[in-house]
Structure 1
Amino acid sequence: MSALLEVEDLNAAYGASQALFGVSLAVKEGQALALMGRNGMGKTTTIACITRMMAARSGRISFAGHDLGRLPSHKAARLGLGLVPEGRRAFAGLTVRENLIAAARRGAWSFEKVCDLFPRLAERAGQRAETLSGGEQQMLVIGRALMTNPKLLILDEATEGLAPVVRAEIWAAIRALKSQGQSILVVDKSLRELSSVADDCVVLERGRDVWHGPPAALSGDLAQRYLGV
């Protein structure tokens, strides 16, 4: 199985403060990879570098056979990177339908297919995004990313701060996407929920990738060491 995304020896900094120290990871076609770690360990910085929202200091990022190098973020996105950013960033003044159509690119995903995945969005199609609940906004942002027909769907803390029933609905959707062959890179803290989706995990600690392996092996003392509060 070929690697869709390869990150090798990634280093990044905010001014004089280095944030990533030689991070490496890979996502294969059809695979779900979990990027894990406590808060402030470099997960979102890694995502920002992959999506070219932030320039890396050094290292290599290869996606779908392309060296992302110094590509601007919009060109990286057009190669097939679909980002669901941390913090639910829907277009507040647009309706649900307008949010989804605005992101549409030619491919399998359509407004109707997104609504099949998230039926609540069909019910709210004419409402402005700013009137939706937090969970509905997150469904909308995931749907918007899918409307770009991504080769790799990147989810950065997609269920953080949501009610348990909504979290369960979103995780069910992520499992459905994985079963359909969607390649996924997911950032989250819940090992229990990630175990139902992820093929492999990469754990970051203080900007370094300190553990790679299947979620079933990340348990007990090991989980407490890297993920415990």
Structure 2
Amino acid sequence: MSFLKLEGIEAYYGPSQALFGVDLALGEGEVCALMGRNGMGKSSTIKVICRLLDHTRGSLRLDGQDLAHLPPHKAARAGLGLVPEGRRCFPNLSVYENLIAAARPGPWDFARVSDLFPRLAERRDQSAASLSGGEQQMLSLGRALMTNPRLLLLDEATEGLAPVVRQEIWAAVRRLKSETGMALLVVDKSLAELRQVADQCVILERGTTVWSGPMAEVTSTVADQYLGV
């Protein structure tokens, strides 16, 4: 049985339909790349999973549990950890305060997050507003880990970052895959990096799943057809 399973998901923003039939299956401990051109429904799918956007049709289950009628905070308690697009740190709180704000019991604590991102330990008492964009992204990822999720969702976690910082984020993702049993759903545009970490790939076009399969089968033909400009 799939750990996360979406079938025929449809969703709207007011009168405007955003998702027309999203299917996605992710096994426990697997990494799935959620891909597609801009505006094709990736972030909307993430919002549906996290219950930030209601779906009007289809089914959504996490480890067999129906998430359809859960509010976002209960979905989080069910095991979802979100690294949102745009980072969204609490600017007036310190690094440490940001990390403990949503902390839940489990193996991920300040010490373990600091081991993953030593810079956060160095800046423990600085306000989040004083951090660089890359450091804020590390903080956002660390904050999600402090909730001790079973499924971590990363929405464009390397978008707009300097190349050296992007490599630090990808190195952290690879560590999460190799050192934990956590499932990951990763929205990103970098095929080269995703090939190194993802087991599966789901591609969306106009709010619909148009391709899914092993990451190794995302050939140049598939990429040109669904991901090219």
How does the TM-score come out when normalised to structure 2?
0.98
Alignment of 1:116-195 (within 5 A): 116-180=115-179, 181-195=181-195
Q: How far did 1:192 drift?
A: 0.5
C-alpha distance in 1, partners of 2:24/2:156?
A: 18
Structure 1 runs (4+) greater than 6 angstroms displaced: none
> Alpha-carbon deviations, 1:87-128, whole Å to 9, x = none?
011111000011111111000001000000001101110100
Give the distance between the partners of 1:65 and 1:208, measured in 2 at CA. Answer: 23
Aligned to 2:38: 39
Amino acid at match of 2:133: G
The aligned counterpart of 2:217 is 217
SS of the aligned residue for 1:3 comes to coil
- Indicate the residue corresponding to 1:53 in structure 2: 52
- CA distance in structure 1 between the aligned counterparts of 2:43 and 2:104, rounded to whole angstroms: 26
| TM superposition score normalised by structure 1 | 0.98
Structure 1 letter corresponding to 2:108: W
Identity between Structure 1 and Structure 2 (%): 64
Report what 1:65 is aligned to.
64
- C-alpha distance in 1, partners of 2:31/2:100? 26
Q: For 1:213 and 1:150, locate their aligned partners in 2 and report how far apart those are by CA, in whole Å.
A: 25
1:95 corresponds to 2:97: no
Q: Distance in 1 between matches of 2:169 and 2:90?
A: 20
Deviations 1:170-218 (A, max 9, x none): 0000000011222100101111000111000000001110001122221
| Superposed displacement of residue 221, structure 1 | 2.2
Q: Which moved more, 1:119-128 or 1:219-228?
A: 219-228
Alpha-carbon offset, residue 46 of structure 1: 0.5
Residue of structure 2 equivalent to 1:204: 204
Counterpart of 1:175, as a letter, is R
**SS of residue in 1 equivalent to 2:97:** helix
CA RMSD of aligned residues (A): 0.8
Q: Which runs of 5+ in 2 are unaligned?
A: none
SS of the aligned residue for 1:93 comes to coil
Tell me the number of residue pairs that the alignment of Structure 1 and Structure 2 aligns.
Answer: 228
